[in-house]
Structure 1
Amino acid sequence: MLAIGGEPEQGFDPLLGWGQYGNPLFQSTLLSRGKDLAPQPELATAWRLSEDRLTWTLTLREDARFADGTPLSADDVAYTFNAAAQAGGRADLSALAEATALDTHTVSLRLKAPRITFIDQLLTLGIVPRAERDNGYSDQYGRHPLGSGPYQLVEWQEGEQLIVERNPYFYGPTPVFERLVFLFTGEDATLSAAHAGQVDIASVPPALAANVPAHMQRVIMESVDNRGILFPCRRLMANTPPPAHPLATT
């Protein structure tokens, strides 16, 4: 049982941003990162970028299946990228012109203009089943996710807990844990549950890290955290002097 926070408000929908800052859990991505952060095969076994840097062509593995046992194909990948580009979620697919299934296991991603950072979406966008198939994507997908990742959803009690189990059709190494229970608790409640022996792993902020339960050990995890600030701008008319600096004094 894990108390690590992170319940997504919009559910587990990659088209709306689920998994953009980590592994999508229920879904698979086209590529993954190795320990040196270099791209590694995942759903895609081979990939190349055209000389004009406008077209990615990827070959998919043939043993990938969704958690309901149905095969994952290039049609699902093309649908995912085209739909995510229209969804307006966290995935930045503004450079995508069109995704096309060339055959069952080959997909083409054509860009409007070269963008070297587009490879990030191959590493983070979880693939969903196309809407036209059984158990396909719908506006309720975030509450009932179906993917080809290592785990499948068993139960989600919003605001309380999430229960997942191994996906029996997962193409990769068998996950170490057969079943995981995530508790969605605040910082104080998480620490109380840890002291009561109700959780196996608890995520706490540095300010509470000194209060370690006797039966648990503290593990410091290295991570990367990014913050950005956007400032509003206004267009100035010709011959209009710029406004005074907000910190200027007279």
Structure 2
Amino acid sequence: MAGEMARELVLIGVGAGDPDWITLEAVRAVQQIDVLFVVLKQDNLDDLVEARREIIRRHRTRPLRIVELNDPPRPWRTAPDYSAAVARWREQRLAQWSAAVADELGEGRSGGFLVWGDPSLYESTLTIARELVGSAQAAGTPIALRVIPGVSSVLALAARHQIPLNRQGRAVQITPARLLREGLPPGIDDAVVMLDGRQTFASIDPTGIDIYWGAYLGTPDEILIGGPLSQVAQQILDARAAALERKGWVFDSYLLRRR
């Protein structure tokens, strides 16, 4: 409305695990927002909560209002219709977030979400935030959206293994693991694989393929294993199983590279 100061929603990329892996722009945003929206997932664990708190401790000097949002359950892991289950979950998220933003973001106020990695890579927060902003605009209560990039697990993985993400003259594909059940597609020599809860790498033909795997990147629990897939696949399986037993959760990704 005329005369009102704009409201703002900021998605702040905070990197893959190390509290220092955030940009100066992200630091300024953490210092300037009026309210922080924190999404507590169904299986949220102390390590992840503490990492978020550490980012605020390091980069915020004034008190900050924190609004916790309990994430709707994620039924698609067992749902017969994956696409429908995801759509329903996003609808529930959108309704919850819209209500929280309407309650907490008054005239001239700024609210933020801390987004692991980068908000634009395999992250649903940006999609839902865009829908929220669009609905607010249609209702005559506009909100400005700002997205601050972060260090993604993809870039952190390559840096930790000290390898280039791409090779000269070749493309890199970033893909969920479910699209690699038959191995690297023809014509794809380098693929970064995300969301592999079933360890797909261990079931494909390893001939001529190297793997660069990393878990808990940027944290004291970081694990890195690389080499010919035929030689290190079992080592990765064992390390992942031990880490899951010890911590109860695993964040991992890997690069498959055809020799």
The normalised TM-score by structure 2 is 0.29
Pick the structure with more helix per residue: 2
Larger Rg: 1
